[in-house]
Amino acid sequence: MVILGTGGTIAGQGQANGASVGYKAGQIGVAQLLQPIADHCLQGQFELEAEQVAQLDSKDMDIATWQQLAKACSQWLEQADVAGVVITHGTDTLEETAWFLQCVLQPSKPVVLTCAMRPATALSADGPANLRDAVVCAADGVAGVWVAAAGEVHGAQWLRKVHPYRVHAFSSGAQGPAAWVEEGQVRWVQRASTTQALPELATAAWARDAQQWPWVELVTSTAAARAAAVDALVTAGVQGLVVVGTGNGSIHQALLQALHRAMLQGVPVWRTTRCEQGQIVLAEGEQDAAVSPLSPVKARISLMLALLQKSMDQP
């Protein structure tokens, strides 16, 4: 089993009083995080190898780090003696990284991300148990990209961070967890990944220089929305837009004409909903290829990857 470190709160250090806030993320190396787990919790059950891919606060996650992480995963997963990969990550952009990896890797082995809501120096740090559970989950052998946290296992597609402080900060909404980790055993509810079918992506597409990735932004429909925001983005050179609609994907009338102008200039526009649960439901017989079932931040990733692939396919 390979453990890849990227930083985050799980590797954070705070004040000596053991507080759960006021810390600095990404301070402890993944090998140091893993050692007590290997020595006291897993007790030689697995052969573990650690690699530090990055050391950052996940709010600052970038494309270059995503690429490094995907390449590291690919290299390890190709080795026959590697059963799976575990990734330590910050919570803020965890759902985005999980979806990116699911899209570009579509792995035939487990890739399990884990995290912590409290730094390693907190009185009740949650990182050690989460890391132990992630290793156990990866060893269970169910292919796909998963997230293990607070005793639950979630699939990459539905996972969202829903609370800024509590240990139980993640949810898959109406889908519920895919599994629970209980006393070192994984109890699956959905043993196969529920991730939607994904198009094959040429490695050369997502591995392109980060500066060549298309610029895609979110535009949120709100009360008193103004078209000037969309026009400004198009003028600045945005290459794709994901509209975060109200309710069932509805869009303020002030934005509609600006979005239409954007599409006439060749800017693709996808539509999703700002509601935390569920997805847009179209009327009977209605078809709209621009509607995405994903959360806004994941739809943005998928649109970026689609535009990357399109640029590779063009002569």
Residues acting as catalytic residues: 9
Tokens describing residue 236: 């600045």
Gyration radius of the chain's alpha carbons: 20
Exposed/middle/buried for residue 23 (C-beta within 10 Å: 0-12, 13-18, 19+): middle
Instruction: Decide: 10 and 116 in contact? Cβ < 8 Å.
Output: yes
CA 13/CA 177 separation, integer angstroms: 29
Query: Quick one: tokens of 288?
Result: 């709209």
Tokens of residue 100, six digits: 């990116």
Residue 251 amino acid letter: I
CA distance 198 to 105: 10
250: left (phi over 0), alpha (psi -120 to 50) or beta: beta
Q: Cβ neighbours of residue 38 under 8 Å, at least 6 residues apart?
A: 44, 48
Q: Cβ distance 305 to 206 under 8 Å?
A: yes
- How many other C-beta atoms lie within 10 A of the C-beta of residue 109? 19
Cα–Cα distance measured from residue 235 to residue 35, given in angstroms and rounded to the nearest whole number: 52
Write out the two tokens for 3. Answer: 């453990």
**What CA–CA distance (Å, rounded) separates 78 from 278?**
36
